[in-house]
Amino acid sequence: MLKISTIITYNTKNFMAQFKLLIYLIYFMFPVLSAAQPQQVSRINTHRLAVASPEHKHLMDQYDVTFYKLDLNLERNTTYIEGSVTIEANVKAAPLTAFGFELASDFVIESITVNGVPQPSINRTGSDVTVQLTSAIATLGKVSTVIKYKGTAPSGNSAAIGNGFNTATEGTWKNQVTWSLSEPYAAYEWWPTKQVLTDKADSVHVFVTTSPENKVGSNGLLKQVVTLPNGKRRHEWKSGYPIAYYLISVAVSDYEEYTTFAQPAGAPKPIPIVNYVYKGGAANYFKPQLDAVAPMVEYFSEIFTLYPFAKEKYGHSMAPIGGGMEHQTMTTQSTFDFTLTAHELAHQWFGDNVTCASWEDIWLNEGFASYAEYLALHKLQSPQQATQWMQNAHNNVLSRLNGTLRVPDTTNVGRIFDYRLTYKKGAAVAHMLRFTVNNDVLYFKALQNYQQKYSGKTATTSDLKQAFEETTGLELDYFFEQWYNGEGYPDFEVEWEQKDGQLHITSKQKGSGATPFFKTDMEYRLTTASGDTTIRVTQNLPEEKYSIKTKRQVQAMTLDPDNWVLNTNSSLIQLGVPLGLPNELPSDKITLYPNPAFDKLYFADVPFSPLEARIYDTTGRTVKQLILLRQGQAILQIADLPAGLYHVVLSDEQNSIRKTFVKVTEPIK
């Protein structure tokens, strides 16, 4: 994930609010919207322009990549690149007569060899590079292509959430840094590659030669640093795990190193957490946040499966990206706020170990990494912070009706990283799936089975669904149809009354957008003099009636009290309630304004702390009920009420106070 330095409110219609980088700024600038996260400056257009043509993609599909080796000369203050990339691959079903890859046209290709033979016939069309082989390579044969190239990486293209290759001086610590950021389509902006999600390399080596004062962060383990005759040093990183093209990374600066260790259950040895931080005191400044990473690794290993790259490392390379990018085994990150760090770490499972098979299913990466923020807050911080995080996420999603979790246009980078849909709706759907399973042991077992089955591979939403169905025995077609392919969310209108020892609930539900109805379980919390009781029912039809035996007098009812379901509640009405109230204080003890009122009613100067607000019509019928302790509201929304005379009653366990107001059909001028 990433951030941005342009300020935009979370519900703006400006398209830049959709971008992954921009999204992070919103988090930091407006913490009320979420407990942490990204900011960054978006330098991209809505649509990516540079990508392999269908014909070139077909050419690249003739081989499977097994290994990449990047051997590059880089410095911390320039985007000039000189070096070579080796692509090793297996030929598929047909003899290979041409070899295709992607590389920005800004670079000069000095030479290409295939299986040691120089290749003179090189054709370039934009970023599509085609090598006409001097001799065909047989079916199932092996191909090793070495591309030597040089040049300055392009800037201002539209293939990613920023440039693929960047350099800048960080504003606070004043360190010069050069770093890569390839997601989703910008690896070709700095190295010759095949940008196909489903073709992971089995392993990767990243060798970077640079000035002796620099350190280089990358994937896997730093096997050695070799001092060369010219005084420069070659940093040799090697990783033996499968890796997607966009997760291969470099970060170059004169870093300081700060390393801690995590010891999750089942790990063969302690897992190093290697942090390359800015020189000049950043290690001490960020030490508390960096020390908090090991417990996160241990917790996520407990609930998701052992950290997927336990034989190598986890870590961070700092860069001024305003957020984080989940490069495999070494996230590129600008700061270490709790939820940002948790999000990027969770990507090592959701995104890196198991990668979405198409950008259509990016929510499998971002939705579950976002949900991991909630899980980490609940376990390692406080349940209250987690509750607020989920409320903020729901508020964000509910700000508009349109949009599916599935990305219909994977050429639109802004749509891929739509903050409301991909991140927040993704997290909300992961949370609702947990509610639907209604068994935490099975829920996390399903996630573990998903991680194990697709470890080192790619997966689709259908694969996730199958993992949950096989683990839980549930049929989940309806769930994914309405929440993955569907739009909007359900709205509930509920009436209830209690008589003859029965609690009668009538729930009318309507959907929104392209999804007219949402089948869902729902909880109701019943408040009585002796405490609260929560009941759970299933809404299978647009209108359902439930009858529950109860001997206790229900004083109040709350729909979805723990905020499991993405929904709105237009009304929750208790039928047949008299206006007489005990311990009623004089009405002049409260200020209620404006009166008459059109859409909102404010109250002030209440001589106690009200827990509940009820609005009655002139017949004594409750038309609105709000539990103020949960909502924290000092404003009553009344736009949906018909015009007329109403009474509002505020109450706690000891006192109540009543005021009369008039609802009008248009604002008073």
Looking at residue 628, its pLDDT comes to 63
**Do β-strands 331-333 and 314-318 pair in parallel, antiparallel, or remain unpaired?**
parallel
Asked if the structure places residue 8 within a domain, the reply is no
Residues 519, 590 within the same domain: no
Placement of tokens 């790619």 in the chain: 458
Verify that 217 and 272 share a domain, yes or no. yes
Whether the predicted pLDDT of 582 surpasses 70 = no
Last residue of a domain, one of 328, 346, 364: 346
Mean predicted confidence (pLDDT) in 210-233 = 99
Quote the strand ranges of 40-127, DSSP E: 63-73, 80-91, 96-102, 108-114, 117-118, 122-125
- Supply φ then ψ for residue 100, to 5 degrees: -115, 145
Per-residue pLDDT reduced to its tens digit, 489-513: 999 999 999 998 999 999 999 998 7
- For the chain, the domain total comes to 3
Residue 149 confidence (pLDDT) above 80:
yes
Query: What is the per-residue pLDDT across 553-573, written as a single tens digit (0 to 9) for each?
Result: 998 898 999 999 999 886 788
86-95, 153-162, 285-294, 355-364: range with lowest mean pLDDT: 153-162
CATH of the domain at 539: 2.60.40.1910
Answer with the one of 304, 328, 346 that is the final residue of a domain.
346
> Do 135 and 205 share a domain, yes or no?
yes
For the record, the structure tokens of 85 come out as 């990339």
Least confident of 19-23, 425-429, 622-626: 19-23
Q: Which of 300, 316, 346 is the last residue of a domain?
A: 346
Interior/surface letters 617-633, b for 16+ CB within 10 angstroms, e for the rest: beeeebbbbbbbebeee
Provide, rounded to the nearest whole percent, the portion of the chain with pLDDT above 90: 72
Give the separation between CA 408 and CA 602, rounded to whole angstroms. 42
Residue 243 lies in a domain: yes
77 within domain boundaries: yes
Domain span holding position 502: 491-574
Q: What is the distance between the alpha carbons of residues 315 and 310, in angstroms, rounded to a whole number?
A: 12
Least confident of 96-110, 464-478, 574-588: 574-588
What are the angstrom distances between the C-alpha of 506 and each of 298, 492, 498, 621, 627? Answer: 45, 10, 12, 16, 19
Overall pTM > 0.95: no
- What's the alpha-carbon Rg for the chain, to the nearest Å? 29
Q: Are residues 186 and 109 in the same domain?
A: yes
Per-residue confidence at 577, pLDDT binned at 50, 70, 90? low
Q: Which helix (H) or strand (E) holds 345?
A: helix 338-346
Of residues 595 and 264, more confidently modeled: 264
Q: Same domain for 567 and 600?
A: no
Whether residue 226 has pLDDT greater than 80? yes
Question: Cα separation of 52 and 523, whole Å?
Answer: 49
Residue 44 has pLDDT above 60, yes or no: no
- Clarify whether residues 193 and 148 are in a common domain: yes
**158 within domain boundaries:** yes
Judged by average pLDDT, the poorest of 21-35, 158-172, 256-270, 554-568 is: 21-35
The string over 194-225, giving b where at least 16 C-beta atoms fall within 10 Å of a residue's C-beta and e elsewhere, is: bbbbebbbbbbbbbbbbeeebbbbbbbbbeee
- Does 441 fall in a domain? no
